[in-house]
Chains A and B, each alone.
Chain A
């Protein structure tokens, strides 16, 4: 009984195993969404709802407008990516995400993509000199990506 209390993960794992055992009958019969967008997208940030009117996005069960790349969507895309990574994968390869979100980014994204100033970068140019100020104002924002396991670069100065 003690083991059940001390490890919710165990309970969660067992529940998942039971889920797998009856997976065939439980799985949704809906067709998976396309692994790639069937047409080449135009320049600029795509607005899905400009072509897909009001029908819900199969699988995601939400309107296409929920994935419009508006300034607000780009700023808070983490919430959507956590729920619908497969939808992102229709257009973006994993390497697109890794430009900014790789655990050990060798080159700051703003330098790697210095020829793409239109893309929003997590650390704009010369960020090293201003990160102390940003860190004083909001250190929790740094912790979204740094300070857990991928902190080799931070540890070089912050010991």
Chain B
């Protein structure tokens, strides 16, 4: 499928409006990252590929346009391949990740965004070309709304779909100061296609989701949150299970700061595949099986949450009805030393899973169980900085058809950087690894980060 490109007139308008806006701004910050990458991949069939993509990320934040609360935010990237094609979109491609004008009112946290932006607050995170607004109301109420055309990334070779003509959503909530919040949200993404005589039948990828969320915090140290999402897309009335609203998923999270340094948290999630995947672009992958569900509960105990030494012990037990039970358990140790200007981490996790049936293979079942270990460290001496990161996987069953007979996988990344000035950073990464897809993988990367102007949020966090 041909890639849609911005027409020259749009580019001229965008650049002209950017230049004009920046000229009137009280604070302007331009930032970006230039990446030159190189890597070789050797495949199990002995073929090899060499990739040399150059990528430029660039962004502009211009605030106080004309001494008003308006601001402009742009961010995008472009890539060109100097050797083999490195991504499905072609040897040269690019994208405007976001670009919007924003108004922030001095009262009520009122905010308006116009352009391409990330919309949150309804039933998920959506990229939209359109308008969004939010504000706090009297009496503890708050509302958020967005609408426009969804940002579409054409799937390569995907079957023809109904046009996703619009997307809109909103959330209305009430907040009790300190103690909690309750909200209701709605999202509609596109409309169901209408059959036209003589035309191919289009897949219905529209979504209609109704959500509800709750947060309770009887004490500053204790917090419990929940969210439910119902699928409201109309079903075939002849279906035996036809209902108006069906539970697609629910999430609950609890956290309790036992002391200033110890935190206990837990989650419970449930997904009903038929309704959770309603509207997918990949029905072959995200199958809407009527009876299949996924349920999981997890716990995390953290020691030293605000100190230089931190230990996290975590556990998750999950059940996917089609594939059986799995557990993931492990621990992570993190250390920060301001004196040595050092951060480091060490983690080990074990995943134990029920054997999965294999249809038409050389074995009847295969195992998904594996172990993973990771060690990393960073030293930032100001003018110079370096980091090391090593991760390894050990798989229980090399008969797993996904593993190409390999029982191990590992990757190591070493990075060294230099700051010639406050606003510019140059760094280089080298990585070496082996995994079931690539017998041997060697990568090199050169990175130039820059940030000019004023107004860095949170010190560049």
Contacts and interface: CB of A to CB of B under 8 A. Distances in A.
Interface of A: 8-9, 12-13, 16, 19, 23, 26-33, 35-37, 40-41, 43-44, 46-47, 49-50, 54, 56, 59-63, 65-66, 68, 70-73, 75-76, 78-79, 81-83, 85-86, 89-98, 101-104, 106-107, 111-112, 114-118, 124-126, 128-130, 132-133, 136-140, 142-156, 158-159
Contact of B458 (A37, A71, A145): A37
A59 B173 CA distance: 13
Given A129-B436, A136-B356, A137-B326, A71 B302 contact: yes
Contacts of A12: 170, 186
Interface string B193-215: 00000000000010110100101
A137 B316 CA distance: 12
B108 A29 contact: yes
Contacts of A139: 273, 285-286, 294, 320
A148 B279 CA distance: 7
Contact of A62 (B171, B175, B326): B175
Contacts of B312: 71
B458 A114 contact: no
Interface string B278-321: 01111011100000001010001010011000101000001010
A86 B168 CA distance: 20
Interface residues of B, number: 155
B458 A126 contact: no
A65 B259 CA distance: 13
Contacts of A149: 127, 150-153, 164, 281
Given A72-B300, A114-B415, A41 B459 contact: yes
A72 B153 CA distance: 32
Interface in B372-405: 374, 376-378, 380, 385, 387-389, 391, 393, 400, 402
Interface in B162-189: 164, 168, 170-171, 173, 175-178, 181, 183, 186, 188-189
B31 A147 contact: no
A117 to B, nearest CB: 4
B118 interface: yes
A7 to B, nearest CB: 8
Nearest to B113: A94
Contact of A71 (B120, B249, B263, B284): B263
Given A27-B136, A82-B120, A117-B387, A143 B286 contact: yes
